Chains A and B, each alone.
Chain A
Amino acid sequence: MEHALDITLTVNGTPVSRRVEARQHLVDFLREELGLTGSHVGCEHGVCGACTVRVDGEIVRGCLMLAVQANGCKVDTIEGLSDSKEVGELQRAFHERNSLQCGFCTPGMLMAARDLQLKNPAASREQIRAHLSGNYCRCTGYQAIVDAIEEVLHGKS
């Protein structure tokens, strides 16, 4: 491999070492090298949010960050947050309100929603919509997604 580098990072709590091509994006690394296919690729140019993952506590677009840039970082994906139950409440609300149809956007939506829950738990409906405005969903019309997040943040039904 030309332009390959060794990286060590923590993915969903587990240390991982790999030799990766310098040009490989983080989301491709997660999907192709680690088989973590829950993070999706919708546009590869930073618009749709399907590839959203968390790096050192901040959500990022996995298609705009290189795997080598995650060297030494702590990366969390939907699989990890599901197993740790960190997004369990959100998943329950999404399920009960049918806040997903095809589900392709859903892991990214949940990452963004969790980020909002951590950073602005008092967010209004408008702020929820604004926080999700980088996550494209073609199926739902967004309303049930906003409803579910609002319910989790404010205990509304």
Chain B
Amino acid sequence: MGKAELPLHAPGTRVDKGYIGQSVPRPNAKRLLQGRGAFVDDLRFPRLAHVAFFRSPHAHARIKRLDFGNALKSAGVIDVFDGRAVAEYCTPWVGVLAHLKGIKSPPQHAIAIERACWQGEAVAAVVAESRTQAEDAVDLIDADWEELPAVLDMDEALSGRCVIHPELGDNICFKREHDTGGVDEAFAKADLVVEETYRFGRHTGVCLEGRSILADYNAAEHTLTVHHSTQAPHMMQDVFSRHLGIPEANVRVIARDVGGSFGIKVHVYPDEMATAALSVMLRRPVKFVADRLESFLTDIHAREHKVTIRLACSKDGEILAFDLDDLSAIGPYSVYPRTSGIEGNQVVNLTGGPYKHQKYRAKLNVVFTNKNVTCQYRAVGHPIAVALTEGIVDLAAQNLKMDPAEFRRRNLIPDDAYPYTFPSGVKFEKLSHHQCLDQLLGLMNYASLRKEQADLRGRNIFRGIGLAAMIEVTNPSPAFYGVGGARISAQDGATLRLEPTGMVTVMCSVTEQGQGTEGIFAQIAASAVGVSMDKVRVITGDTGVTPYGGGTWASRGAGIGGEAVLLAGRALLSNILDVASKVLNLEKETLDIENNAIVDKLTQEKKMPLEELGRITYFRPDILPLDFQAELTVTRHYTPREYAFTFTNGIQASLVEVDTDTGFVKLLKHWCVEDSGTVINPMLVDEQLRGGVAEGIGAALYEECLYSPEGQLLNGNMADYVVPMSGEIPDIVCAHIETPTRQSQLGAKGVGEAGTAGAPGAVMNAINDALAPLGARVTAMPFTPERILRALGRIA
């Protein structure tokens, strides 16, 4: 795959000189390539203590007795604490938000008190001189349990026969109904009604770096510094402050290198809160790094849904209505502070998203169970909504004997229909479904693939082609969390400073987890100011240093943080030119910055290097006019407010071959056409898409957290929980349409989640397309060989 063909600047956007649209390598990648990064577990502190947790072996049980006697005597142990002891330093929380009407969840403690509600919930903490010693002592804790009935099945939970939290009355965390009206009428007059039930396996993020936190409390200052593998440092600063009773200004959260996050590291985890509390209690730094087994038991899981969807359409293939019933299980608590209601809510918002039908009805029930908690994992709700929609759309096309690409073409919202309000209530600024579809079909050579498929079928080779069109939430406004009362910033800020040497330092509240945030900020800053990229240094992930902001989630880093950097860069340019105008005694309007120097705007004649301007500003301001003060540090912020979300769109295609004897699916190729507005760095965008597609492929084919009937996680390790490795993932072809958002100068929309959102649906449709001549269909992810053989009737 070569470098993507893209215009240097997105058409129609006002873009500054330089690097925007170019595939420049990320400057910050070099330290990682040499193993010289600074992940939390790489940091070294004097008097560092290590915590290991004693976790519930039961899905639901009362803690009758905890005996720490032997553990306390174990070598290197500093202390052992139960939930009550930690609760004196850390208040409980409740994962609800006001705009999710009726959502409920009980208070959750850092360490469980009285009762454990899932296998893996921490019930005691052992602090020792080393992690090994802490783990040794965990094994010596003696506990008596009274097992309680565990609710594991979603339907069982919904029935309310056994209620996990009796004080809540039932097991329903959140429910929502949405109805445009006219749905029954649309179904009554439809020529074709198709209905199907889809199941999605609960799976998880499997970041290669486990969750990591090193909390360092300074008793003299009553300050807490937390080195944290997190996506949202300011949110965590607020949470630590609020629940540990330390003034917010005294809490500093530093997220240096983060080894993958994907939404896993944007939530409040009880064991991490306990670690921070233990640092306060013991007045010394305490570290917790989740090992792989703990990660499977306690990193948020996601996407356990069972959904029945119906589609009504006319005989010439016009979709008239969708009707949806989604049941989703989230474990025993709604996760704080984003809640576990958002995923299902997104399914309601997004189902049917690319299409122009007007009638829509949806019902959602989100229930508590005694498994690990679920919450927002990359693409939140989108993989479900896309797979449902695209699965039922393909089924309708198949019934009408219509080509699935043609069926989509008839129903996709026209490219000139914007702005557009979708029947679920969400608003689209401008999308490009038809352009994307056309580009995809050309890119993959759809017609000849269909021909090849037909030829191969004659030779008993079963290939399938699957399409998945989608919409995606990016650049969220405060409508996502802030309006519900969460102290999660939808705004981000950037500070730019011209240094005396002519270097530009960028400090931004959006964080870096490998997606290339720091790289694109360097590109934007260099372009806006007029310097070369080697003159830019970017600092992120430190609440003590950067402006306040939301961090990295919901595909917002480039669109929101990038805009803040652009605005700050332009302001810095203007301020630099003010200084230059005084020093050179020339009109500001005649000057510009080009290639690290003040130049004449028209002739590009070099007037003064920036380092000379820096020298004068900082060391010889005596030669500047008395009534002039140079300001070479500027801060700008940005929040999208015009639209609740800046929707993007895209379409993916998957080509698979199914071995009907073994049930194995071979992925032959995958295509992805995405419209994420202005593309700042095509190379980074493509790798984001590919990584996302790989996660989506994992969900479609391999990944599921399997629980026993007793609520024991059966495959909580990397040998038994299968993730895609290099041999499984095919080459992935990416291409772009660029429809910049008009809400910002930069025009960038988000792209980080698109791959994950669309891939499962595309793969599912490809498999079903391959199986169609055999009369078989699969609808329960992941599509394991066993499930495929069962669908084929090869096994019972």
Q: Interface of A with B (CB < 8 Å)?
A: 21, 23, 31, 35-48, 50, 77-79, 82, 91, 94-98, 100-107, 110, 128-130, 132-147
Instruction: Return A66 CB to nearest CB of chain B, in Å.
Output: 13
* Contact B262 A138, beta carbon cutoff 8 Å: yes
Q: Is the CB of B726 within 8 A of A135?
A: yes
Contact with A along B285-297 (1 / 0, CB 8 A): 0000001100000
B25 and A38 form a contact (CB under 8 A): no
Pick the 5 closest A-B CB pairs, nearest first.
A38-B35, A103-B32, A102-B514, A101-B514, A141-B690
Contact sample, A vs B, 9 pairs, CB 8 Å cutoff: A40-B208, A98-B683, A98-B687, A101-B691, A102-B258, A110-B33, A138-B260, A139-B260, A141-B729
Beta-carbon contact of A142 and B292 below 8 Å: no
B residues 682-703 with Cβ under 8 Å of A? 683-684, 687-695
Residues of the A chain whose Cβ atoms lie less than 8 Å from the Cβ of B684: 98
A95 in complex: contacting residue of B1, B30, B726, CB < 8 Å:
B30
Q: In the complex where A101-B687, A103-B29 touch, is A44 in contact with B292 (Cβ < 8 A)? A: yes
B687 close to A94 (CB less than 8 A): no
A49 to B217, CA, bound (A): 34
Q: Assess whether B205 is in contact with A138, with CB atoms less than 8 Å apart.
A: yes
In whole angstroms, what is the CA distance A82 to B687 when docked?
25
Nearest chain B CB to A76 CB, angstrom units: 12
Chain A, residue nearest B262 (CB): A138
Question: Do A137 and B208 have beta carbons less than 8 Å apart?
Answer: yes
In the bound complex, do residue A103 and residue B726 qualify as a contact, i.e. CB atoms below 8 Å apart?
no
Cα distance, A102 to B229, chains bound together (Å)? 11
Nearest-neighbour CB distance to chain A for B533, whole angstroms, equals: 14
Q: What is the distance, in angstroms, from B716's C-beta to the closest C-beta of chain A? A: 11
By size class, the interface of chain B is 35 or more
**Nearest Cβ on chain A to B135's Cβ, whole angstroms:** 11
Q: Is B732 an interface residue (CB 8 A)?
A: yes
User: A67 to nearest B CB, angstroms?
Assistant: 13
Contact with A along B503-522 (1 / 0, CB 8 A): 00000000001111000000
Q: Are A45 and B725 in contact (CB under 8 A)?
A: no
Asked whether A141 lies within 8 Å of B30 as measured between CB atoms, the reply is: no
Q: Which residue of B lies closest to A101 (CB)?
A: B514
Nearest-CB distance from B467 to chain A (Å)?
20
- CB-CB under 8 A from B291, the residues of chain A are 44
- Chain A residues with CB below 8 A from B723, complex form: 136, 138
* B261: A residues at CB distance < 8 A: 102
Q: Are B208 and A42 in touch, CB under 8 angstroms? A: yes
A45 and B292: CB pair below 8 A? yes
5 A-B pairs besides A110-B33, A138-B262, A140-B694 with CB distance below 8 A are A38-B34, A42-B208, A98-B684, A102-B258, A104-B260
- Is B206 interfacial (CB 8 A cutoff)? yes
Of B44, B209, B210, B683, which contacts A35 at CB under 8 A? Answer: B44
**Closest B residue to A94 using CB positions:** B33
Write the nearest CB–CB distance from B528 to chain A, whole angstroms: 23
Interface residues of B in 190-211 (CB under 8 A from A): 205-210
Contact of A101 with B516 at beta-carbon distance under 8 Å, contacts A43-B292, A136-B208 already known: yes
- A132 — which chain B residues lie within 8 A by C-beta? 725-726
Provide the residues of chain B in CB contact with A39, threshold 8 Å. 35
Q: Tell me the dominant secondary structure on chain B's binding face.
A: loop
- Indicate if the CB atoms of A139 and B292 lie closer than 8 Å: no
Please indicate the chain B residues that have their CB under 8 angstroms from the CB of A130 in the complex.
726-727
Majority secondary structure of chain A interface residues (helix, strand, loop or mixed): loop
Contact present for B33 and A77 (CB under 8 Å): no
A47 touches B694 (CB 8 A): no
Indicate if the CB atoms of B209 and A42 lie closer than 8 Å. yes
In chain B between 667 and 694, which residues have their CB closer than 8 angstroms to a CB of chain A?
683-684, 687-694
Output the least CB separation between A131 and chain B (Å): 8
B1-40 Cβ-contact flags toward A at 8 Å (1 or 0):
1000000000000000000000001100111111111010
> Is there contact, CB below 8 Å, between A133 and B718?
no
Number of A-B contacts (CB under 8 A): 177
Q: Is B144 an interface residue (CB 8 A)?
A: no
Chain A: minimal CB distance from B276 (Å): 22
List of A residues within 8 angstroms of B343 by Cβ: none
Does B622 lie at the interface of the complex (its beta carbon under 8 Å from any beta carbon of A)? no
Asked whether A106 lies within 8 Å of B1 as measured between CB atoms, the reply is no
Please indicate the chain B residues that have their CB under 8 angstroms from the CB of A140 in the complex: 687, 690-691, 694
A134 to B669, CA, bound (A): 22
Most chain A CB neighbours (cut-off 10 Å) among B31, B32, B42: B32
B35 to chain A: which residues have CB within 8 Å?
Answer: 36-40, 77-79, 82, 106-107
Question: Please, which residues of chain B bring their CB within 8 A of the CB of A105?
Answer: 208
Distance between B11 CB and nearest chain A CB, rounded to angstroms:
25
User: Which A residue sits closest to B206, measured CB to CB?
Assistant: A138
In the complex, which residues of chain B have a beta carbon less than 8 angstroms from the beta carbon of A107? Answer: 35
CB distance from A150 to the nearest CB of B (A): 11
A32 to B690, CA, bound (A): 35
| Complex Cα–Cα for A146 and B727 (A) | 10
Q: Which residues of B contact A35 (CB under 8 A)?
A: 44
B727: nearest chain-A partner, CB-CB: A133
Distance between Cα atoms of A67 and B514 in the complex (Å): 31
A25 CA to B39 CA, complexed, in Å: 20
CA gap between A26 and B690 in the complex, in Å: 33
Does residue B743 face the partner (Cβ distance < 8 Å to A)?
Answer: no
Q: Which of A95, A102, A136, A143 contacts B257 (CB 8 A)?
A: A102
Contacts of A46 in B (CB 8 A): 719
Q: Name B695's closest neighbour in chain A (CB-CB).
A: A138
Cβ–Cβ < 8 Å partners of B262 in chain A: 138
Q: A21: nearest residue on chain B (CB-CB)?
A: B132
Contacts of A110 in B (CB 8 A): 33
Candidate in A47, A133, A143, A144 with the most chain B CB atoms within 10 angstroms: A143
Q: Scan B619-659; emit 1 where CB is below 8 A from any A CB, else 0.
A: 00000000000000000000000000000000000000000
Measured CA separation A144–B515 after assembly (Å):
14
Cβ–Cβ < 8 Å partners of A139 in chain B: 208, 260, 514, 691
Question: Which of A31, A91, A141 makes the CB contact (< 8 A) with B34?
Answer: A91
Name the distance in Å between B316's Cβ and chain A's nearest Cβ.
39
Beta-carbon contact of A103 and B1 below 8 Å: no
Most buried by A among B42, B515, B725, B731: B725
CB of B717 within 8 A of chain A? Answer: yes
Contact status B25-A96, CB under 8 Å = yes
B207 contact set on A, CB distance < 8 A: 102, 104, 138
Query: Chain B residues near A91 (CB, 8 Å)?
Result: 30, 33-34
Contact of A144 among B690, B693, B727 (CB under 8 A): B690
How far does the alpha carbon of A105 sit from the alpha carbon of B39 in the complex, in Å? Answer: 12
Chain B residue at minimum C-beta to C-beta distance from A35 = B44
The CA-CA distance from A40 to B207 in the complex, in Å, is 13
- Give bound CA distance, A47 to B25, whole Å: 30
Return chain B residues, CB-CB under 8 Å to A106: 32-33, 35
